[in-house]
Each structure stands twice: as C-alpha cells, then as structure tokens.
Amino acid sequence: MRYLALARFRLLTLLRSSTPIFVICLIPCVFGSLALAMITESNFRLGPWELQPSCAVVAVIAWVMHGIFITFATISSGKVKSAHDDMTIGVKPDLMDTAPVSSAERFWGDALGTFGAMAIIHLCTLPLLATIAALDPLPTSAFVWIEAVILAAIFLGSASAAWQRRAPRTKFSATRGARNALVVAILMLLAFACTSRLVAFRDAFLTFIPYRVSRNGWADLMDTIEAPALLVLLLLLLYAGTMTYYYVSATRKRALEN
C-alpha cells in the first residue's frame, strides 16, 4: 500500500499550489453559466428556435474548453526543470527520493495523487457545469459522455505528469509533456483519417461545433465515419499504448523529482 501513501503526498502537494489551476479551469464554466443564465423567458418567447441552438453551442464549448484546460493543467503539473537548469540553479533534492519504494510504486502513486488532486478541482467546478447542462436544450446523456471523456483525459494526463517526474532528465525535459501531447493528438487525427472520409468529417465537425450542436448535427458527423468499430479500437489502443509507454519509460530509470 505504499503507492497510496505516495498518492496522498502528491495530492496534498498539488492542492497546496493549485489555486491558479482552479481559476483557469473555472473561467469557461463561469462564462458559460452566465451566458445561459442571462437569457430570460421573454427572450425564449420571442425566438426559441434561434436561441436553443445558440445555447447548445455555448454549453458544449464551455464543457469542452473546461476539459481542455484541466487536461493541459494536469500535464503541466508534472513539468520538471531541464538538466541545464540543474547546473545553473541550486536545486535541493526531494526527500521522497530516499523513500524505500520501487519505481512502479512511485509512478502509480504520483499518477493517482495527481488524478485525485485534479478530480477535486474538477469536482469544485461541477455545480457550474451542472447549471450549464440544466439550462441547455441538449439531453443529459450528451454531457455524461463529455464528462466520461474528461475523466479519461485527466487520468491520462496524470500518468503523463508522473512520467515526466520519473523519466530521465534531458536538455528538453521542460517541454516533454507538450511534445508528447502533440504526438498523441497527431496519432488521434491519423486514426480519424484512416476510418472516415476526412474532408467530409472536417466539414461536418466545423459545422457541428460553432453552428449545429444537435442530435442531427451529431448524426451527420457520425455518418462521415466509415468504420466506427475500427476507430474505437484504434483510440483504445492509442490510450493503452500511451499509458504503457509512460509506465515503461518512467520505471526504467529514476530521476530527481521536481
């Protein structure tokens, strides 16, 4: 159970310095809830068919932007100094490096602690997100799926943060998380390119997000995917492969924690 103690240590450490992260993740929630709450009943009576699509767009953008912000904040929480910084700046060793735990326990402890801290931050924003979902014409199931994707992204970002802390230091360690996120995004785009009509998917996506957030718009977007089962399989393999890479790379050799 040593990894649970490490997870608690990482959770408390991140929560003590997480105020900027909370403020950044709260911004889309505040603006989205205010935009929907300012619409009165008289506005709906004057033009309900025009307001409902706009409300759906605002709600989905607020949820998605919140998910993007908290995911990148999770990845950035594991940012370490480069080897050059260690030579020019006096860095005191972390006493946790002397703890009698294995690299695997350290990795999973860091990952679970980071996930717990970010889940608490996300939980604090849920009242505003629930308000957005309640004021939006879209079905609740749409936001349940968005929430599931956000939690999966936060867990993957937590593993990325643990990997950054444990992987060997290099000259470009400070940008390791951003570069890896870019590679994962490119591989995800390749998965969509291999399983869908790319031009039609692009046009349907660019129409869905800013103009046509609805069940019909989602159906049109899904119609552009020729092999949905293969797409799901490729995305699951990408997720599992990325997690495996983080674990193997982080446990191969210890590094000084940030």
Beta carbons of 177 and 74 less than 8 angstroms apart = no
pLDDT band, residue 33 (cuts 50/70/90): confident
Q: What is the pLDDT of residues 159-206, one digit of tens each?
A: 999 888 887 777 777 778 888 899 999 999 999 988 888 888 888 888
* Domain ranges (residues) in the chain: 2-252
State the average pLDDT over residues 130-143.
84
Which residue type, as a one-letter code, is found at position 169?
A: R
- What does the alpha-carbon distance between residue 128 and residue 131 come to, in Å, rounded to a whole number? 5
- What does the alpha-carbon distance between residue 92 and residue 70 come to, in Å, rounded to a whole number? 29
pTM above 0.95, yes or no: no
**Count of CB atoms situated within 10 Å of the CB of 184:** 17
**What share of the chain in percent tops pLDDT 70?**
85
Kindly tell me if the per-residue pLDDT of 52 is higher than 90. no
Instruction: Spell out a b/e string for 100-112, using b for 16 or more CB atoms within 10 Å of the CB, else e.
Output: ebeeebbbbbbbb
- What does the alpha-carbon distance between residue 212 and residue 209 come to, in Å, rounded to a whole number? 6
Kindly tell me if the per-residue pLDDT of 92 is higher than 60. no
pLDDT band, residue 57 (cuts 50/70/90): confident
Cβ-Cβ contacts under 8 Å for 36 (sequence gap 6 or more): 55, 58, 59, 131, 132, 135, 136
- What does the alpha-carbon distance between residue 169 and residue 54 come to, in Å, rounded to a whole number? 47
pLDDT band, residue 142 (cuts 50/70/90): confident
User: Higher model confidence: residue 146 or residue 211?
Assistant: 146
Name 196's bridge partners. Answer: 225
Cβ-Cβ contacts under 8 Å for 216 (sequence gap 6 or more): none
- What does the alpha-carbon distance between residue 80 and residue 165 come to, in Å, rounded to a whole number? 6
Q: According to the model, what pLDDT value does residue 36 have? A: 80
Kindly tell me if the per-residue pLDDT of 154 is higher than 70. yes
Q: What is the pLDDT of residues 228-241, one digit of tens each?
A: 999 999 999 999 99
- Alpha helix (H) residue ranges in the chain: 2-16, 19-37, 41-46, 48-76, 83-88, 103-135, 140-166, 176-195, 198-208, 215-223, 228-252
3-state secondary structure of 109: helix
**Count of CB atoms situated within 10 Å of the CB of 128:** 19
3-state secondary structure of 94: coil
- What does the alpha-carbon distance between residue 165 and residue 78 come to, in Å, rounded to a whole number? 6
State the average pLDDT over residues 30-59.
74
Q: According to the model, what pLDDT value does residue 68 have? A: 93
Q: What is the pLDDT of residues 114-130, one digit of tens each?
A: 999 999 999 999 999 99
- What does the alpha-carbon distance between residue 44 and residue 38 come to, in Å, rounded to a whole number? 11
- What does the alpha-carbon distance between residue 126 and residue 135 come to, in Å, rounded to a whole number? 14
State the average pLDDT over residues 80-93.
51
Structure tokens at 199: 């031009």
